[in-house]
Amino acid sequence: MEEPLEASDTRQTDKKLLDVLRGGRADPPPVWLMRQAGRYLPEYRALRAEKGGFLDLVHDSEAAAEVTLQPIKRFGFDGAILFSDILVIPHALGQDLRFVAGEGPRLSPPLVDSALAALETAPERLDPVYRTVALVAEALPPATTFLGFAGSPWTVATYMVAGQGSRDQGETRRMAYGDPEAFGAIIDAIADSTIEYLGRQIDAGVDAVQLFDSWSGSLSPAQFEQWVIGPTETIVSALRARHPDTPIIGFPKGAGEKLPAYARETRVDALGLDETIDPEWAAEALPSDLPVQGNLDPLALIAGGERLDHAIDRIKRAFAGRPHVFNLGHGILPDTPIAHVEHLLARVREG
């Protein structure tokens, strides 16, 4: 890991979050929340009603830029995260993508029944995302770090294979065991597309990127090594060669005791922790100079009151003295009271 930033370091910026992702320390820590642009905000719901379906909103660059900026305007978070979806990559790889109300995303044809080679790639489907990035980068306050993102290959593959989300990723895990060559080709195609996608986001103006591996916790240790760590390291190495100063956050949800190996072998610049991770364990188990992000339970944010305060204080105490970005352990939930978000920010930013 890099040495902590000193004031004379030429990479020091006026962006507190970016500096912490590069190894600096800040007290109080910078804060942003996963899914901070979304359904808990009345301004988002109003814009969504005006624009129609979710995918329509993602592909409307001006509207997607406005959604990205909404929580910055309301709360003044230290980071803004691009409004998009991890499934734009399979869409660009040639699968049809639609979102069914009350049921979630659907991809067709599912690759459990169809060959990857039968798909006709359509990289131009990502062009609206790059335009969104440019619009947001131009509009953000100078002190706000702009975060891009993509899904990690394993998690994206679970949707591509099954054609939809699932509780245990059973079809994808069966394919990974039963036909590792065909499944490896899917993983490789996702990784290659993700490298280009994140590189283009950086070119368009994001300051850092995050890899979401929401379903990594469903894998055995050997499969985790093969399908999570290996492809992630490929992406990190390629992006670092192309953009050496852009921090990369890895977020392998559910990785548990595999987190130290993930951090060591993928060489991500910062590690996101989900809400099941004991912050005191993480502070001991992970390198002291590794920036960590997290890991408040989204349900504690909904609960509010003393339970929220105790959870916030425990996380801040555990990660005091090391590079830390305060965040949730997963995305903010739609029924989260805005007053609780305001209280969280005030509590985190107390000296």
Q: Hey, which residues are catalytic here?
A: 35, 39, 48, 85, 159
Q: Which two tokens stand for residue 183?
A: 């499944």
Residue 45 near residue 75 (C-beta atoms within 8 A):
no
Q: Which two tokens stand for residue 36?
A: 């901070």
Q: Where are the alpha helices (DSSP H) in 96-229?
A: 127-139, 153-162, 170-178, 180-204, 221-224
Residue 80 near residue 150 (C-beta atoms within 8 A):
no
What is the DSSP code (8-state) at residue 100? E
How many Å apart are CA 256 and CA 282, to the nearest integer? 10
Residue 234 near residue 192 (C-beta atoms within 8 A):
no
Element at 261 (helix H, strand E) = helix 259-266
How many Å apart are CA 37 and CA 343, to the nearest integer? 17
CB neighbour list of residue 60: distance below 8 Å, 6 or more residues apart: 51, 128
How many Å apart are CA 76 and CA 72, to the nearest integer? 5
Say what angle helices 127-139 and 180-204 make with each other, to 10 degrees: 40
* 50-80 residues labelled b (16+ CB within 10 A) or e (exposed): ebeeebebbbbbebbbbbbbbbbeebebbbb
Nearest in space to 251 (alpha carbons), one of 240, 242, 259 = 259
How many Å apart are CA 248 and CA 8, to the nearest integer? 23
